[in-house]
Amino acid sequence: MQAVYNLDQLRGFVAVAEEGNVGRAAERLHLTQPPLSRQIQKLERAIGVELFERTSRGVELTTGGRVFLDDARRILALVESASLRARGVAEGSAGVVRVGFTALTASSVLGRWIRLATKHLPDVELVLREMVTRDQISALHSGQLDIGIARGVRPDQWLATRQVHAESLMLAVPRDHRLGRSDGPVGIADLVDVGLVGYSPTRAAYLHEAVLAVFLQHGFTPRLVQQVGQVNSVISLVDAGVGPALVPESAAAFHRPGVVHRMIEHMPTDLVRAQAVWRVDGLNPAADAFRELVLSNLTERGHEAT
């Protein structure tokens, strides 16, 4: 027959076992002695084992009682732990947060977010997913992500955004290219008629438009010899000698032996921006706590609300 007992009986048993005296255990539990004695008797009947031997000085655990004491303590600890976890999840200090990020923001933004969560939300598990902006938006709409780090997202009735990072563009140049051998900043005018690696207008629309605008402001259209969808792919093509490319400053983290980086004259410092994006109707307290944490610790170039 299955034993049926409750937590109050277990707590009473543990208190009596630790005190060695029913009277002292009753005081500890803020009970009178008779109700506590009845709890122990009911527990013994439920498990079919005599837990204590009564002596003139109090009570002593039987062999079965000593074995049961270890299990009783584990059960009570597990119940307390489960309660703490449940409260933590409800309050946002524990749980799972699904975070989307692009390859480039892994070094410029995501690393900082992970360090903040590790320090301030140690019981929150981050599930990290590398995704291009378009896929992040789809995943946010479908509820597969809690928050994303993306570019060029317009808020709508479902999604809110806030800028979390801004940086400039610089020139990535093949090491043996004439511009790679020069010292000091490069002017945009130096890139007239230079075959460049660029960004796909469909798969990397944000960077494509940002780079194109730079050239148009200087009165000419760049000559693009290749267009790809990822910054790391652009750097790989530069490394292979295909041609120079305008890349975000953080792309320097992709160390390639055949690539050198040059500053560009008169380039705005906040031309390339990254945003935090999240659902306005999210129901995950841990995600809310994580978002509040990272947005309250923005860098000096990531403080503007989108």
Q: How far is CA 109 from CA 105, 138, 297, in A?
A: 5, 21, 11
pLDDT tens-digit readout, 243-283: 999 999 998 888 899 999 999 999 998 999 999 999 998 78
Q: How many angstroms separate the CA atoms of 83 and 89, rounded?
A: 10
Cβ 301 vs Cβ 165: under 8 Å: yes
Residues of the chain with CATH 1.10.10.10: 7-90
Q: How many angstroms separate the CA atoms of 99 and 92, rounded?
A: 15
Residues of the chain with CATH 3.40.190.10: 92-164+272-295, 169-262
For residue 301, pLDDT over 50 is answered with: no
Q: How many angstroms separate the CA atoms of 220 and 196, rounded?
A: 13
Q: Give me 52's structure tokens.
A: 């204590």
Cβ 154 vs Cβ 306: under 8 Å: no
For residue 192, pLDDT over 90 is answered with: yes
CATH label, 92-164+272-295, candidates 3.30.420.40, 3.40.190.10, 3.40.640.10, 3.10.20.30 = 3.40.190.10
Q: How many angstroms separate the CA atoms of 123 and 290, rounded?
A: 11
* pLDDT for position 282: 79
Instruction: Please name which of 87, 31, 108, 99 lies closest in space to residue 285, comparing C-alpha atoms.
Output: 87
Cβ 238 vs Cβ 173: under 8 Å: yes
pLDDT tens-digit readout, 48-58: 999 999 887 88
pLDDT tens-digit readout, 140-176: 988 899 999 999 998 888 999 999 999 999 999 999 9
Q: What is the CATH number assigned to the segment(s) 169-262?
A: 3.40.190.10
CB atoms within 10 A of CB 121: 21
For residue 186, pLDDT over 50 is answered with: yes
* pLDDT for position 143: 87
Chain centre distance of CA 202: 28
Q: Cα Rg for the chain, rounded, in angstroms?
A: 32
Note the pTM of the prediction, 2 decimals: 0.68
pLDDT tens-digit readout, 68-87: 998 998 888 888 777 666 66
- Block residue for tokens 């307390």: 80
Percent with pLDDT over 90 in the chain:
59
The domain over range 7-90 is classified in CATH as 3.30.56.10: no
Cβ 292 vs Cβ 282: under 8 Å: no
Q: How many angstroms separate the CA atoms of 100 and 127, rounded?
A: 9
* pLDDT for position 303: 45
CB atoms within 10 A of CB 6: 12
Q: What is the DSSP letter of 109?
A: I
For residue 230, pLDDT over 60 is answered with: yes
